Every structure is written in structure tokens, then in C-alpha cells.
Copies of this chain bind each other. A is one copy, B any other.
């Protein structure tokens, strides 16, 4: 039996989801908290590897305590973990799942949001939570360009160079850009994402807005399958994992 957790975290103070040699990771913190709670080693498996500084509004992971771990009533687990975690990570919900359930492989769809603070001067409440671009963005032009992402494509051009994934085909179900007050928000849903895919998509959309590319160029960039053809990589702090579906 495994315990599935629904959590959220502000990624500012973390080296990302995954345990790394240098820096504090969200996975590491959950592992520590769960081990304290159970009094034994606990394996923690996440739904996605988020980078340093990236946030999650909704994230799922499983706990698998070692042999002989005590049974803790499932409804008590969020309380027992939250008292052991920092204020920037919260466990909202826990439920039992079958051992065959895998937090990452069973994901059917993920939705990311990328938030750009597009005010003339940076918003002091969005520092570390948005990418500040003071030059006005054209969200309609960006939305038009984003539509070209929709569909089943080889997204190699939107993958960080150096990645070694073999299957670079992903199906994007939704991609749109809207303005919310001073912010411009890019939303994208897909069955999976390549390394840095949303951040390269976002950077490229801002290049479209500022005239470096035409909205029609996105299709050409996808077909090129070449990272060099796409635009810049947006920084991590504006990126939010927003929804995960199994």
C-alpha cells in the first residue's frame, strides 16, 4: 500500500522537486517529514521533476513506508506532515492507493501556467513569483502564436539542449495566453512535457510579441526540431504546475 498526497509548494527556497547533493529539495523535505512521522525510512515518488525556483499549485506524490511502519490514520497524515514542514510546502490531502499506482507514470495530463509581470515597474509582491518584463506585451498576438502548439508534435525545438529523452513527441491539448490585470499568463496542457519545454515556449511567445518572430513562425520552429530555431528560455520563477490528472 502507498499513500498518495496532494501538496502545493512555493519553489523559491528549493533546488527543485528532486533530491540533489547541493541544496534543499521538496522531495527531501517530504522524505524527512514522512520518515519522522513513521519512524522509519520512507520512499517518496513525485509526479514531475520541477526545476529550482519553479512552483506547484497542485502536485501529487506517493509515500511508501518501509516494512513494519506503524499504520497512521490517513486523515491524520496531512496534519502530521504539515507540522514537520516549512510554511512554503503544504500537504492538503492524503489517500491510500494500490501498490501498482505510480505517481509519475500514471499521469495522464499536466497543466502549467507561466506568469509574466508586465507592469512598467516590478510588483514587489510578485518577486520570485513572476517574470518581470516591463515592455508591454501583446497578449492577443501571443495567444494566436500559442495556438500552433496544440496537437501532437515532436517538440525537440522546445527542449533544453543536452536533454537525452528519446521520445520527443508530446500532445498539447490546450495553449492560450490571457491578460489578468498587469500580468500576462500562458496556460498549456499536455500529456507530458520535455525538459524546459514550457519555459522555452514562454520565451518564444515573448519573442513573438516583441516582433522577433511572427505568430506563423511557431509552426516552422516546431517542424525544424532544432532548439536553435526557438526563442529564449524564460526564467523559472514564473512557472507554476497547476493541475495534474491521472
Contacts and interface: CB of A to CB of B under 8 A. Distances in A.
Task: State how many copies of this chain the complex holds.
Answer: 2
A64 interface: no
Interface stretch (A122-130, A194-202, A222-230): A122-130
Chain A's interface size range is 20 to 34
Contact of A10 (B10, B55, B82, B127): B127
A78 B55 CA distance: 30
Given A10-B127, A87-B127, A127-B87, A92 B121 contact: yes
B88 A10 contact: no
B91 A121 contact: yes
Contacts of A82: 121-122
A9 interface: yes
Contacts of A109: none
Nearest to A89: B124
B87 A124 contact: yes
